[in-house]
A = this chain, B = another copy of it.
């Protein structure tokens, strides 16, 4: 019985079940896996591998692997392997709760990387050798072309660099994905790098499929399993307030002639605030918009459906189950208006600066001077990772960060005297938005930034406390360029850890 998705004999000859394929991965192997958010990650082999690892542990044998991915994946990959205690090293981004727990317990080593830099650093040899590429694809065509899946991520690099290749061919993925990808094979190591020839988000500069050396393929596994993204969480009042502030700001920039009416290519993170912002754009006067971003989420799909957005470039889908189902059954309608690229291109600083992206990312906290923490709770406990926010923030036309003004029911203030971990330095943060308001920090020196942040962004419950800190810092700081009280700079975080609240008692 042949699988029509595995239409080339060299690959058909390698078909086996997930268990057999997983047995080709051994202790200590470094495995480059597909997956970017809950899209396009391998679903069968990692679970089989997790069972092998559990069996080995039960027999008293050590068994752990090193895992490289595109970004986050799904529970069948990160969740299954983490629960089996089968991963001792992970990069470059994680959002799985089991893996997160082990990372923050110190038992899983984790490197949090700029997503644009993973592939180049792998090629440069700085990350060590790659043993196995384990990649989900949507089809292998009769001529041997391998059609990518619902994310591209670092797959091109894993397939090129790995000694052995295992493919999962997922029949759940729409056959209409064929032709939607743009796999650029023009990257190189210096001194042979050339300009990335991409001038518009819609430009296609590569080829639709992967080229793979069939001799490296050791297993092909057929699957038929949906991508598993988190269900859509409806935007709350804070998310709507943030979106409204942003819409007002963008409209103002258009009115002043600093942005065209179609805006500039949009980059947007994931989550309910991002979706609220995209909803806001749906109701705006801006058109026809474009996106040059990492992931295509529900709100962006709606913009494409309505026609407000002409096209979107990303490296992955990141859709709710409902939206994924809708897209999957109607893919042909969108194929000419969506391009999926390798993440080294979707996040390439060169392209982001050239296009002049409008970067809109979430944050954990920001400080008086506009430094932003995107990754670490209380300075030490990592939430997910920096992802592509650094690629976009430093190179964007306008770099915007947003979050509700408080978290944990008001026990945490998003605006603090000094962020407990810095991911984005003040130079890379032009706009901060909370439900309270928007701070436009462009052209402002540090003390003027602090005044705007206090006036516009901090929650009223924390405003006096922050203003008091700042007034005393202005008076007592060692230097007055960036007034700081060293003894108190991190005291709000200390108080939270010790008492459960950042509020002064």
Q: Does A472 contact B (CB under 8 A)?
A: no
Contacts of A371 in B (CB 8 A): 422
Query: Is the CB–CB distance between B376 and A481 below 8 Å?
Result: yes
**Which residue on chain B has the smallest CB distance to residue A262?**
B191
Q: Does A297 contact B (CB under 8 A)?
A: no
Interchain CA distance A425-B391 in the complex, whole Å: 13
**Which residue on chain B has the smallest CB distance to residue A419?**
B422
Point out the residue from B354, B427, B478 that lies within 8 Å of A350, measured CB to CB: B354
Across the A-B interface, give the 7 residue pairs with the lowest CB-CB distance, nearest first. A381-B479, A190-B356, A106-B480, A195-B195, A422-B422, A350-B350, A380-B479
**Which residue on chain B has the smallest CB distance to residue A391?**
B394
Point out the residue from B124, B200, B481 that lies within 8 Å of A380, measured CB to CB: B481
Interchain CA distance A236-B485 in the complex, whole Å: 35
What is the number of residues of chain A that contact chain B, defined by CB distance less than 8 Å?
A: 83
Contacts of A193 in B (CB 8 A): 353-356
What is the count of identical protomers in the complex? 2
Q: Does A444 contact B (CB under 8 A)?
A: yes
- A:479-500 near B, CB below 8 Å: 479-484, 486-487, 489-491, 493-494, 497
Residues of A in contact with B (beta carbons under 8 Å apart): 89, 103-106, 109-114, 117, 121, 124-128, 189-191, 193-197, 199-200, 256, 258, 260, 264, 349-350, 353-356, 371, 376-382, 386, 390, 394-395, 397, 418, 420-423, 425, 427, 430, 442-445, 447-448, 473-474, 477-484, 486-487, 489-491, 493-494, 497
Contacts of A128 in B (CB 8 A): 443
Interchain CA distance A354-B194 in the complex, whole Å: 7
Report the minimum CB–CB distance from A223 to chain B (whole Å).
Answer: 31
- Given A125-B258, A127-B443, also A481-B349 (CB < 8 A): no
Interchain CA distance A397-B190 in the complex, whole Å: 8
Query: Is the CB–CB distance between B490 and A497 below 8 Å?
Result: no
